[in-house]
Structure 1
Amino acid sequence: MKEAQQITGADTLGHVGAAYKGTLSLPNLGRLGLSNLRKEAIPGIPNAPHPLAYYGKMIEISAGKDSMDGHWEMMGLKPLSTFPQGFPQAIIDQIAEFSGRKVVVNQPYSGTDVIHDYGERQMDTGELIVYTSGDSVMQIAAHEDVIPVEELYKICRFARTMLNGPDYQVGRVIARPYIGPDKDHFIRTANRRDFTLEPSSPTVIDQLHQAGYTTIEIGKTNDIFSGHGFTKTYHNESNMDGMDHVDEVMKQNFTGFCFTNLVDFDTMYGHRRDPQGFGQALIDFDRRLGKVLHNLKNNDLLIVTADHGNDPGFRGTDHTRENVPLLVYSPSMQKSGPLGTRPTFADFGATVLDNFSLARGEYGTSFLEQLV
């Protein structure tokens, strides 16, 4: 697989640290080696002379840069299709024929900008606003007073059937209803619904589950994999609610894999370009991470990473393509050190399989043997 290009100037951790003017305090992430994986330390977080963990970075191969692309690559699935020039006309024509409505836009667009620019037209004509982004997604927007929500869902379900492969595999078809009287007052509503692609082949999670290991999900990971392979799931209301679930799971006696996603960094602060809020969320997480480190058993393996970047100090509101941090620790380790820059997120999943002595898939190389 060919490496996708990173976004020049994006630096989530660096910009958050700079916003705090050197006062960002993350003692637990710091002692694991968070700043050691960079050429320059994060402002406020010095390099650890003797880091607790192995540390490195991972490069995303997938062309998209959202949660689904990141998680699927981690768990060994092939990259999804993206449409930087818009969707093929044949697909657009079929949506128009099925819905009885014309389609406008069909190009990458900001979700808030597209309803500002085309929402009044959509109210007048009843057309469908179809757009995409740099990620593997089709979004269909319509005013709720013009196209009822259930009708929009029906159209999205049809679109989903055309994007399941083999020619085009799109991660999500998203219904984007909005309300309001005019372009200056349009609001996207909570009636958004995601119609996700079923995993195209067995994932790392499926392999663990089929081998008899417990597989636990905390956060939105269950939705990303359409419920495949998990023994037990926990829905998070917030990052701290998610960490409460982590504490609960760590009290349980099981052999297997717990996959946790904390979404507030992304939805609450990254997209809203709020570096102060992002930094406080990191501080709160770091505090809870201290309890996790204290409660790890000798045979536990902790991997801290991310599924994409979302630099709150960067332009725009979209995800930012960046190499993600990788911190790996177990109380049984006798040493620590660099893991380098891993060529794909799939190295994470390959390492998880290797940890349980299961055969690795097509993508990814395990770094388990480097952990001593």
Structure 2
Amino acid sequence: MSKTVIVVVDGFGVGAMPDAGALRPGDVAADTCGHVLDRCREAFGRPLRLPVLGALGLGMVHPHPDLARRTHLPVAVGRVALGYPGADTFAGHQTMMGADFSRVTVARLAEHLDEVTRALTDAGHEVEPLDGKPLLVVDGAVLVHDNLEADPGINWNASGRLDAIDFAGILAIARTVRSVAPVARVIAVGGHAEKSLDAFVRAGDGGTVGLDTPATGFYRNGGLQVQHLGADLDHARQLPELAARAGIPVTLVGKAADILACEAAVRRPAVDTAEVLAHTLDAVRADGDALVVANVQESDLAGHQQDTECYGRILEQVDAGLAALLSLLTEVGDRLIVTGDHGNDPTIGHAFHTREYVPVLIHRPEARGAELMPDATSLADVGATAAAALGLDPAGLANGTEIRAASTRAA
């Protein structure tokens, strides 16, 4: 019997990928981990207290003076490139679980207006552009537009006022858009606004045009309804389904419970970090084999809020939770894998995700010492590595290769 626990610290990057500046040149300086450590040392008058992350080898992949460069724990550590376009939580988790995102692209709605218009018209809808802008008004009630709250071109939205159309109608339009959209997500959004949605349309970054959803009042007026329609993926060839078919109990915690597919999984949605950690510990304490995938979302929220001190406090809270997990994962074959899904540098000067490498820190009770792994090319390799730890064939995933330790051993 063995347990594999994947803890995703949402938005925890360890330095910019080579293409990080393609959209925003300043992002070549992104370093979520390093900048949070620096700013928190200044703000708190002390280094962040991250003894467990240090012992798991974080300092081996991020040479920051506040992190130990060596560890005697039985770990394998490395960095992972994202392996999907942009920097997005949904795409990151789907890729990590073994999805093939090679057909998903970053695209503005303007580049596909004719195709989307044709699909909606064929479905019986009335479609027209809004005042010559590259977004569509459907049935006089729903705007189809670029999502302005994520990186440009990652997601499209279908947004409507619920006093003008019910959510089922918004969702039907979103599903039609999804059928031709090349992007990772099409998001159906319904809410209540004080005036017509066209009053809240604005230009975004990277040539996008869309609805300023926070300005509409959707988030503060109550009654918000949202459904995320992901790209067409073979969920049967992702890690949770692979484990479930092998009879391994699967628990999805935090945001992972909201965005990962597995009919047999136990779901424990939560945002509060303490609650996420408590659910994770409960799942590990259960008898028998287990796959647990947990997402710590509050780190990402702190990044969006550009609140470095809050981010640091969340990291310290996570570190304490990891100590408790390590005390439970002591058997041969057990694995604790700590990683991220993208970066979210709170010091970079904007509220978007940053395209960074993420750490992969793997605790292996039966191993001797610490080993350094080569940089992996995709988060899918994390899923493949977890599959192998569970005795599953990584070839059963749609994407990913097991990460193997390099010959170099760290003392």
**TM-score category (smaller protein):** 0.7 to 0.9
- 1:285 positional shift: 1.1
Q: Assess if the C-alpha contact under 8 Å between 1:102 and 1:127 holds in 2.
A: no
* TM-score w.r.t. length of structure 2: 0.75
Residue 359 of structure 1 corresponds to which residue in structure 2? Answer: 393
Q: Assess if the C-alpha contact under 8 Å between 1:24 and 1:279 holds in 2.
A: yes
Counterparts of 1:4 and 1:92, CA distance in 2: 33
Gaps of at least 5 residues in structure 2 are 1-16, 21-26, 201-213
Q: Counterparts of 1:1-372 in structure 2 under 5 Å?
A: 5-6=19-20, 7-20=27-40, 21=42, 23-38=47-62, 40-41=63-64, 44-48=66-70, 50=72, 53-79=75-101, 80-86=103-109, 87-94=111-118, 97=121, 98-104=124-130, 105-106=133-134, 126=141, 128-132=143-147, 133-134=151-152, 136-163=154-181, 168=182, 170-175=184-189, 177=191, 179-181=193-195, 186-189=216-219, 190-200=224-234, 202-225=237-260, 227-228=261-262, 230-266=264-300, 268-299=301-332, 300-361=334-395, 363-368=399-404
Counterparts of 1:174 and 1:298, CA distance in 2: 45
- 1:140 positional shift: 2.2
**Aligned CA distance change for structure 1 residues 278 and 256 (closer, same or farther; 3 Å):** same
Alpha-carbon deviations, 1:205-231, whole Å to 9, x = none? 222222222222112224323x32543
What is the one-letter code of the residue matched to 2:309? Q
Residue 12 of structure 2 corresponds to which residue in structure 1? Answer: none
Alpha-carbon deviations, 1:117-161, whole Å to 9, x = none? x9xxx8xx7562411444642212344445554432332233233
Q: How many residues align?
A: 347
Sequence identity percentage: 22
Segment of structure 1 superposing worse, 4-13 or 313-322: 4-13
- 1:74 positional shift: 1.4
Which structure would you say has the larger RCO, counting Cα contacts within 8 Å and 6 or more residues apart? 2
Q: Assess if the C-alpha contact under 8 Å between 2:374 and 2:406 holds in 1.
A: no
What is the one-letter code of the residue matched to 2:258? D
* TM-score w.r.t. length of structure 1: 0.82
Specify the SS of the correspondent of 1:69: helix
Backbone CA RMSD of aligned residues = 2.9
Segment of structure 1 superposing worse, 133-142 or 335-344: 133-142
Specify the SS of the correspondent of 2:372: strand
Counterparts of 1:369 and 1:229, CA distance in 2: 33
